[in-house]
């Protein structure tokens, strides 16, 4: 007994199946009596619905006149909230890029100032210096780590912490930016690439 395709019959009737699905459904209908009967019922139903007539409405001129009587003088202005939402939407990627640029410049500047400080070219580099606790150094201070280990543990910890903090914010910004592009793309796809008007 063939598998029925009842769920596809509505779309088949409405011409909404893709060519491959259409061919498959057509082939199935040749062999399945129950699906053929169901399709026939749907066609009859469409015919029955089409029989229901429309009454004779007032002519468009009267509708135009009636509407005109009730219209305010001018269309309302676009709601301010919507306008700000629109501005916010387009400002979001600019903000993300600006944030990325700012943090990058700050980091590079910090590295340069740090290097200059190490060379004795700058005296007070504290504004760029991180003052977070280095746990390896702390453990070494309590004698829990061997000094030979500390030689490579302290710079390794500093490097790993800097690397991950850089990685995390860059990935976070990239994800936000990609999400914005994805939403923009979905909106464009849903609304259609061309600006079309009624047919």
| Interface ranges with other proteins (CB under 8 A) | 7, 10-11, 14, 16, 41-42, 45-46, 48-58, 60-61, 63-64, 66-68, 70-79, 82, 190-192, 195-199
Q: How far is the CB of 84 from other proteins (least distance, A)?
A: 13
d(CA 84, CA 81): 5
Our CB check for other proteins shows the closer of 19 and 198 to be 198
Q: How far is the CB of 199 from other proteins (least distance, A)?
A: 7
Our CB check for other proteins shows the closer of 29 and 150 to be 29
Q: How far is the CB of 52 from other proteins (least distance, A)?
A: 5
d(CA 153, CA 107): 23
Our CB check for other proteins shows the closer of 52 and 127 to be 52
Q: Which residue has the tokens 């923009």?
A: 184
d(CA 84, CA 121): 48
Our CB check for other proteins shows the closer of 3 and 7 to be 7
Q: How far is the CB of 123 from other proteins (least distance, A)?
A: 58
Q: 103-117 burial, b for 16+ CB within 10 Å, e for fewer?
A: eeeeeeebeebeeeb
Vertex 43 angle, CA 38 and 45, to 5°: 95
Closest CA relative to residue 165, chosen from 97, 91, 106, 112 = 106
Q: How far is the CB of 49 from other proteins (least distance, A)?
A: 5
Our CB check for other proteins shows the closer of 30 and 74 to be 74
- Which residues fall within 8 angstroms of residue 123, CB to CB, at 6 or more apart? 117
């Amino acid at each position: 007994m063939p598998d029925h395709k009842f769920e596809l019959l509505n779309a088949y009737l409405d011409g909404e199946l893709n060519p491959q699905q259409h061919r498959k459904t057509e082939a199935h209908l040749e062999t399945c009596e129950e699906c053929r009967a169901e399709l026939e019922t749907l066609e009859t139903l469409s015919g029955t619905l089409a029989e229901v007539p429309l009454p004779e409405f007032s002519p468009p001129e009267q509708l135009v006149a009636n509407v005109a009587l009730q219209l305010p003088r001018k269309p309302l202005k676009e709601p301010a909230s919507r306008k700000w939402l629109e501005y916010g939407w387009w400002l979001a990627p600019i903000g993300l890029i600006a944030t990325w640029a700012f943090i990058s410049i700050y980091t590079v500047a910090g590295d340069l100032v740090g290097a200059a400080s190490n060379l004795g070219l700058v005296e007070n580099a504290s504004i760029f210096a991180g003052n977070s606790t280095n746990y390896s150094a702390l453990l070494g201070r309590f004698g829990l780590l061997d000094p030979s280990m500390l030689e490579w543990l302290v710079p390794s910890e500093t490097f790993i912490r800097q690397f991950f903090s850089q990685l995390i914010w860059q990935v976070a910004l990239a994800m936000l930016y990609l999400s914005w592009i994805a939403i923009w793309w979905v909106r464009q796809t849903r609304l259609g690439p061309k600006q079309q008007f009624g047919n």
